[in-house]
Amino acid sequence: MIGEGSGIVPDRGMNILARGTLNTLMNLTEADLTQDNNTGSTRVGADTPKGLLAGSVVSVGASGTVVSANGADTDVVGIVVNNAVGYPYESSSGVGSGKCVYLHGASSVFTTDLYETTHGGGGVWAAGDPVYSSDNGFLTRHQTSSGTLIGIVLIAPSATDPFMAVQMRI
């Protein structure tokens, strides 16, 4: 299994394998901390935290903020590194600082187990698939009319390993 597979730590959702740039310039909005994440993917459930999730896609919001991307965004800036609200008994640095840490840069490679499995994102993923942002801010294989190419799948998820590796293009 790629990433933290001990089963002791909570699922982090994203692991950086080759880091381009981490950006903390942009601020979180109230919606970034409170949005529901119970649609678009069977990878999330009732116990999934609210707010931006590690591995989700963000775009530019109002001046100085980032927001969850939707399939039509042309101003996508990166992939969220940590859940905005954190986990119980752990640092809640997003809430405390009001900042969103996101990964960007074409030299970046990451793995994530957060991706679209419904709303047209289902089916079998394969190495070489292009990756876009879904309407829910998750990674999907299906491009909308004006969606931005996020990256290319290097290693597809499988029944035994739900993580997929992505080479970023943004």
Q: At a CB cut-off of 8 Å and minimum separation 6, what does 32 contact?
A: 51, 52, 65, 66, 67, 68, 84, 94, 100
pTM score = 0.83
Cβ 58 vs Cβ 102: under 8 Å = yes
> How many angstroms separate the CA atoms of 59 and 1, rounded?
30
Residue 3: the pLDDT is 44
Sorting pLDDT into bands at 50, 70 and 90, what band is 86? Answer: low
Q: At a CB cut-off of 8 Å and minimum separation 6, what does 143 contact?
A: 71, 130, 132, 149
Q: Which long-range contacts (CB under 8 A, 24 or more apart) does 140-144 make?
A: 140/71, 140/115, 140/116, 141/116, 142/116, 143/71, 144/71, 144/72
Sorting pLDDT into bands at 50, 70 and 90, what band is 130? Answer: very high
> How many angstroms separate the CA atoms of 24 and 102, rounded?
7
Residue 16, both tokens: 């950086």
Residue 19: the pLDDT is 92
Sorting pLDDT into bands at 50, 70 and 90, what band is 49? Answer: confident
Q: Provide the β-strand partners of residue 110.
A: 16, 166
- Amino acid at residue number 40: G
Q: What is the pLDDT of residues 118-129, one digit of tens each?
A: 655 567 889 999
Cβ 118 vs Cβ 135: under 8 Å = no
Is the pLDDT score of 6 beyond 60? Answer: no
> How many angstroms separate the CA atoms of 118 and 109, rounded?
24
Cβ 94 vs Cβ 85: under 8 Å = yes
Cβ 132 vs Cβ 71: under 8 Å = yes
